[in-house]
Amino acid sequence: MSLKTEELVLNMGPQHPSTHGVLRLELTLEGEIIKEVKTHIGYLHRCFEKHAEVMTYPQVIPYVDRIDYLSSMGNEFGYVITVEKLLGIEVPERVHFIRVIMAELQRIASHLVALGTYGVDIGAFTPFLFCFRDREKILSLFEMTCGARLLYNYMWVGGLSHDLHPNFVTQTKEFVKYFRPKVVELNDLLTNNQIFIDRTVNVGILPPETAINYGVSGPNLRASGVKWDIRKIEPYAVYDRFDFEIPVGKGKIGTVGDCWDRYDIRILEMEQSLRIIEQALEQLPDGDVSSAIPRRIRPPVGHAYGRVENSRGEVGYFIISNGTANPFRVKVRAPSFINLGILNELCKGHLVADIVAIIGSIDIVLGEVDR
Amino acid sequence: MKNTEELFNLLKEKFGDAIIELKKDQPVDPFIIVDPFQIDKISLFLKNNEDLLFDYLVNLAGVDDANEKNVTDENGNQQKITGTLSVFYHLESTKLRHRLILKVSTPKEKPEVSSVESIWKHADWEEREAYDMFGIIFLNHPDLRRILMPYDWEAGYPLRKDYKNPEFYQGMKVPY
Amino acid sequence: MIYNFLLKITGSSIAASFIQSLLPLFLFILPFALFAVLAERKVSAHMQDRLGPMRVGYHGILQTIADILKLLQKEDIVPHDTDKSFFNLAPIIVFVGSYAVFAAIPFSGAFIGANLNLGLFYIIAVSGFVVVGILMAGWSSNNKYSLLGAMRSAAQIISYEIPTILVVVTIIMITGTLNLYTLSEMQTSSFWNWIIFGGPVWGISKFLFIPLMILDFLIIYISTLAEVNRTPFDIPEAESELVAGYHTEYSGMKFAIFFLSEYANMFAVSAIIAAIFFGGFQSPFGYLGNTLGLPWLIPIEQFFWFTAKGLFFVFVQIWLRWTLPRLRVDQLMAVCWKYLIPFAVVDLFLVGLITVL
């Protein structure tokens, strides 16, 4: 007589404290070991691509913000440079520099949310509050510039909606000086904590060939050892004038491409963003930010694909124009949607408690997954 | 690094009729139009060939071309030329740094394209989304079902130009 | 002392001992539990660079009273397909397991709920009740998550009782008694006589004991942290993994009972550690009552010292909760079986050797 064992199907339903939004996972478990993870998405589908077809090009920008609501500047950046590519217009230098500063500040803010919530998933509640305290300072910088803390409508086709506030440069320099030691503090609290290391090292290992095959981009791809950053591969705006490095996962503790590497990459990227912001503030030229904004936007018939490196990966916009004032088709290549596809591969053979660690390390935003 | 013309010539030598046309007059990027049922063999070649190494599928986008036309032929009869649905593939090589854009078109009545899921796993979810939004059937896809809309959405494919919202869904009134 | 006083009032020894055992419950533990909830919120808030509850009362002091009033008026929701008797019984059993421990703890020189010669043995036996209560709660909630949480919790508590017992055995070898009152009395007159510094013996064995006693203290502190289900061992209540573990389905007063019994348990283990290693109710350096010549002041002072030591250890538990992340279930078990138990056994042997020689 042998013992009959059955597989348990457990539902981590759409409402769950640590799936970072409305995501439904169907786990097939054998005891505590995972055999398969089926992902069900679409709970936050807001039909962005259909909306974009009935609006004019500038009207799409607030909608673009709301795709990835935690790093809106990056989304706007991508859309705006794609339309400018289609139109073939050049923007003033000052606009480029300001866009870079905003994008890098947004990258730091988004990574702070990712790291803080990852700590909460693992069980450490305090770094979350420290991260949000620092993020508040960034959000006040944004509020000073364009009036909004989270969804900006700041980057317009051909320029920006507002020029910088007179105190912006001084306050940003203060922020950079304030934030550098905070990164060290965060490292002490979480990154080098032995319990955190036990939870994340050798968990969810992503080999580089699998990552490229699945189309993964952003910190997840770099943590697996592939040096792929759009800011260096295909420099847009004025990124080729700055001196910064691309941190790549080396498997300092554990294997290359595990959760700890993905976490560490984000911390190193925050430091590099600080470097870029400093250099951009030094080199900021004068100029008029709205001189190149066209009156009417009617691109010629054709299509363009423009991309930027956002906090979660490569955001690409594929815009097809048919000569009218409304885009014919806007397809968003959303990094979180694509990164989420590797979940089944990563989770095989791990325990249920590791799922939470793995999802947190991929850093998804459901708004981007579902659009 | 090869540009699109060289790639077009290379592919034309190998696949002949499956490679239909190179369009380079429209802004912004040139692209190659390819036969929808051969796209998987072409993709396999693009990925495995030593000089090409297209290992990264950057983007896969479905498009409703909205090109139905009613033409009156010599006898005065109305003839409807059916529209097409297209799929754009943006490919890139992480090692050789070149890029390529492919396009396939299929008739709207019976939209079928070979799936490239076995070549790039990225296409798994992207093709499901193209199916969900446009109704394009990807042959040999292991699990082709809706991804963003609810699994039992009967009212059609949302991103088509002639799509209308249904009145009711499961007893709930749809127009808000 | 208080026993005689009660005997005079009631005239019956049963009634007197009954009231005496209940006194710690109502006079001390319930107010303490109310206070501990507030302390946790304020301490964690200040550690996280924010203020915590500020509105109810001066700087939020009356917050817990507001919470208890709220919980009292909540609807008692019982899920559909549950075993109702188990569901209702589970919080009571957990409550009993946590509170019954206080009968054997010496609060001061003049007061101990029940002067048992088997004090420590009784404490460890009774705190095993909690496991039964948790399993009942998890099973009767008819919820896969609760069941998983309850099973993990039961495994955790049972495993971590072993290092606790090993340390207690070590203490017996040194002091020769299980009675907590006598243990505390032995560590008199100055902090140098505390057991963590080797106990009230003279000679070289005292100095040999010191590192072993410090190791024992760490072992028992960590294992009692696991027994109370506090971070880093709070898998059963892990909010981000199993919603709330075995008490997911409880609402209103039953949830309040689980909650309060967790805090009482925290204080109980802190009090036991203070009694065993740090001199219980003894003061580190003589009594004010002695110098002033007021003998009735001494029990009050002893009570004060006892509470202070207990509260200090509770504070360290709160501090650890908000600093460290959580261990995974298999790592938790590995810590117990692969690290704590071997160390405790080695410690036991060494102490035994030294006592014999």
Give the model confidence (pLDDT) of A284-316 as tens digits. 988 888 888 888 888 888 889 999 999 999 999
What distance in Å separates residue A342's CA from the closest CA in chain C?
A: 21
Give the containing element (helix H, strand E) for B99. Answer: strand B99-107
Tokens of B127: 């093709």
Helical pair C129-140 and C84-99, crossing angle rounded to 10 deg: 150
A57, A28, A59, A44: which is closest to A328 by C-alpha?
A57
In one-letter notation, the amino acid at residue A2 is S
A35, A74, A79: which is closest to A336 by C-alpha?
A74
Interchain CB distance below 8 Å, A123 and C49: no
Residues B94 and B25: beta-carbon distance below 8 Å: no
Chain C residues whose beta carbon lies within 8 Å of the beta carbon of residue A353: 235, 241, 328-329
Q: To probe the interface with A, which of B31, B121, B141, B174 has the most A CB atoms within 10 Å?
A: B121
Residues B102 and B88: beta-carbon distance below 8 Å: yes
Would you state the pLDDT for residue A3? 62
Mean pLDDT confidence for A321-333: 90
CB atoms within 10 A of CB C27: 11
Chain A residues whose beta carbon lies within 8 Å of the beta carbon of residue C151: none
Chain C residues whose beta carbon lies within 8 Å of the beta carbon of residue A193: 324-325
| Residue C52 falls in which region: left (phi positive, over 0), alpha (psi -120 to 50) or beta | left
Subunits close to B (at least 3 CB pairs below 8 A):
A
Residue C236 confidence (pLDDT) above 70: no
In a domain, C59, yes or no: no
Residue C139 confidence (pLDDT) above 80: yes
CB pairs under 8 A between A and C: 70
Sign of CA dihedral C224, C229, C230, C234: positive
**What's the number of domains chain C is made of?**
1
- Nearest residue of B to residue A339, measured between CA atoms: B122
Would you state the pLDDT for residue A77? 93
Is C330 at the interface with chain A, CB within 8 A?
A: yes
C120, C137, C129, C136: which is closest to C158 by C-alpha?
C129
Rounded CA separation C336/C164 (Å): 11
What distance in Å separates residue A133's CA from the closest CA in chain C?
A: 8
B168, B134, B166, B170: which is closest to B152 by C-alpha?
B170
Residue A104 confidence (pLDDT) above 90: yes
In one-letter notation, the amino acid at residue A216 is V
In one-letter notation, the amino acid at residue C39 is A
Beta strands C106-108; C111-112: pairing state: antiparallel
Q: To probe the interface with B, which of A36, A326, A329, A343 has the most B CB atoms within 10 Å?
A: A329
A55, A58, A56: which is closest to A290 by C-alpha?
A58
Phi and psi at B142, nearest 5°, equal: -70, -25
Would you state the pLDDT for residue A107? 93
Question: What residues 227-286 of chain C have any CB closer than 8 A to a CB of chain A?
Answer: 231-232, 234-235, 238-241, 243
Comparing B165 with A178, the larger pLDDT belongs to A178
Rounded CA separation C328/C233 (Å): 8
Residues A258 and A300: beta-carbon distance below 8 Å: no
Residues of chain B scoring pLDDT < 50: none
Contacts of C5 (CB under 8 A, 6+ apart): none
Beta bridge partners of B91: B57, B100
Is B53 at the interface with chain A, CB within 8 A?
A: no
Contact residues of A toward B, CB < 8 A: 41-42, 45, 47, 49-50, 85-86, 88, 210, 212-215, 226, 228, 233, 299-305, 307, 314, 316, 318, 320, 328-329, 331, 333, 337-338, 341, 370-371
Question: What residues 40-79 of chain C have any CB closer than 8 A to a CB of chain A?
Answer: 44, 47-50
B45, B54, B52, B56: which is closest to B16 by C-alpha?
B45
Residue A13 confidence (pLDDT) above 80: no
Interchain CB distance below 8 Å, A42 and B125: no
Rounded CA separation B70/B77 (Å): 10
Beta bridge partners of A39: A25
Helical pair C253-277 and C84-99, crossing angle rounded to 10 deg: 30
The per-residue pLDDT of chain C, averaged, comes to 80
Q: To probe the interface with B, which of A213, A246, A345, A369 has the most B CB atoms within 10 Å?
A: A213
Would you state the pLDDT for residue A274? 92
Q: To probe the interface with A, which of C328, C330, C333 has the most A CB atoms within 10 Å?
A: C328
> Kindly report the CA angle at C263 between C261 and C267, in degrees rounded to 5?
115
Lowest mean per-residue pLDDT among A331-340, B60-69, C244-253 = C244-253
Q: Helix or strand or coil: residue B71?
A: strand
- In this prediction, the answer to ipTM > 0.85 reads yes
- Nearest residue of A to residue C326, measured between CA atoms: A123
Q: Sheet of B56-64: strands edge to edge?
A: B19-23, B31-34, B99-107, B84-92, B56-64
Chain C residues whose beta carbon lies within 8 Å of the beta carbon of residue A259: none
Would you state the pLDDT for residue C61? 81
Interchain CB distance below 8 Å, A199 and C325: yes
Give the model confidence (pLDDT) of A46-87 as tens digits. 889 888 989 999 999 999 999 889 999 999 999 999 999 888
Distances (CA, A) of C21 to A107, B39, C106: 61, 83, 11
Would you state the pLDDT for residue C110? 66
Phi and psi at A149, nearest 5°, equal: -95, -25
Interchain CB distance below 8 Å, A303 and B26: yes
In a domain, C32, yes or no: no
A151, A191, A179: which is closest to A69 by C-alpha?
A151
Residues A244 and A276: beta-carbon distance below 8 Å: yes
Helical pair C204-227 and C253-277, crossing angle rounded to 10 deg: 170
In a domain, C131, yes or no: yes
CB atoms within 10 A of CB C73: 8
Residue C241 confidence (pLDDT) above 70: no
Is B169 at the interface with chain A, CB within 8 A?
A: no
Q: What is the DSSP letter of B121?
A: T
Residue C240 confidence (pLDDT) above 50: no
Give the containing element (helix H, strand E) for C212. Answer: helix C204-227
Give the containing element (helix H, strand E) for C302. Answer: helix C297-323
Give percent above pLDDT 70 in chain C. 86
In a domain, C24, yes or no: no
For C64-130, give the DSSP string: HHHHHHHHHTS-----TT--HHHHHHHHHHHHHHHHGGGGGSEEETTEES---TTHHHHHHHHTTHH
Residues C79 and C247: beta-carbon distance below 8 Å: no
User: Of the candidates C234, C322, C326, which has its C-beta nearest A126's C-beta?
Assistant: C322
Chain A residues whose beta carbon lies within 8 Å of the beta carbon of residue C322: 125-126
Q: Helix or strand or coil: residue C145?
A: helix
* HEC string for chain A: CCCCCCCEEEEECCCCCCCCCCCEEEEEEECCEEEEEEEECCCCCCCHHHHHCCCCCHHHHHHHHCCCCCCHHHHHHHHHHHHHHHHCCCCCHHHHHHHHHHHHHHHHHHHHHHHHHHHHHHCCCHHHHHHHHHHHHHHHHHHHHHCCCCCCCCEECCEECCCCCCCHHHHHHHHHHHHHHHHHHHHHHHHCCHHHHHHHCCCCCCCHHHHHHCCCCCHHHHHCCCCCCHHHHCCCCCHHHCCCCCCCCCCCCCCCCCHHHHHHHHHHHHHHHHHHHHHHHHCCCCCCCCCCCCCCCCCCCEEEEEEEEECCEEEEEEEEECCCCCCCEEEEECHHHHHHHHHHHHHCCCEHHHHHHHHHHHCCCHHHHHC
Would you state the pLDDT for residue C289? 66
User: Of the candidates A47, A305, A370, which has its C-beta nearest B90's C-beta?
Assistant: A305
Q: To probe the interface with C, which of A18, A195, A356 has the most C CB atoms within 10 Å?
A: A195
Tokens of B120: 């790039």
Mean pLDDT confidence for C212-220: 87
Residue C242 confidence (pLDDT) above 90: no
Subunits close to A (at least 3 CB pairs below 8 A):
B, C
Beta strands B56-64; B84-92: pairing state: antiparallel
Lowest mean per-residue pLDDT among A33-47, A232-246, C74-88 = C74-88
Interchain CB distance below 8 Å, C240 and A190: no
Q: For chain B, percent helix, then strand, then coil, each to nearest 5?
A: 20, 30, 50
Tokens of A268: 């190193």
Rounded CA separation C248/C141 (Å): 8
Lowest mean per-residue pLDDT among A162-171, B26-35, C96-105, C232-241 = C232-241
Would you state the pLDDT for residue A79? 93
Give the containing element (helix H, strand E) for B102. Answer: strand B99-107
User: Of the candidates B28, B66, B121, which has its C-beta nearest A85's C-beta?
Assistant: B28
In a domain, C12, yes or no: no
Lowest mean per-residue pLDDT among A34-38, C60-64, C167-171, C341-345 = C60-64
Give percent above pLDDT 90 in chain C. 1
Contacts of A146 (CB under 8 A, 6+ apart): A152, A153, A154, A161, A162
Instruction: Work out the widest C-alpha separation in chain C, in whole angstroms.
Output: 66
Domain of C168?
74-356
Rounded CA separation B37/B106 (Å): 10
Would you state the pLDDT for residue C331? 83
CB atoms within 10 A of CB A106: 24
Is C320 at the interface with chain A, CB within 8 A?
A: no
Chain A residues whose beta carbon lies within 8 Å of the beta carbon of residue C330: 351
Residue C20 confidence (pLDDT) above 60: yes
CB pairs under 8 A between A and B: 87
In a domain, C14, yes or no: no
Chain A residues whose beta carbon lies within 8 Å of the beta carbon of residue B126: 338
Is B30 at the interface with chain A, CB within 8 A?
A: no
Rounded CA separation C283/A110 (Å): 53
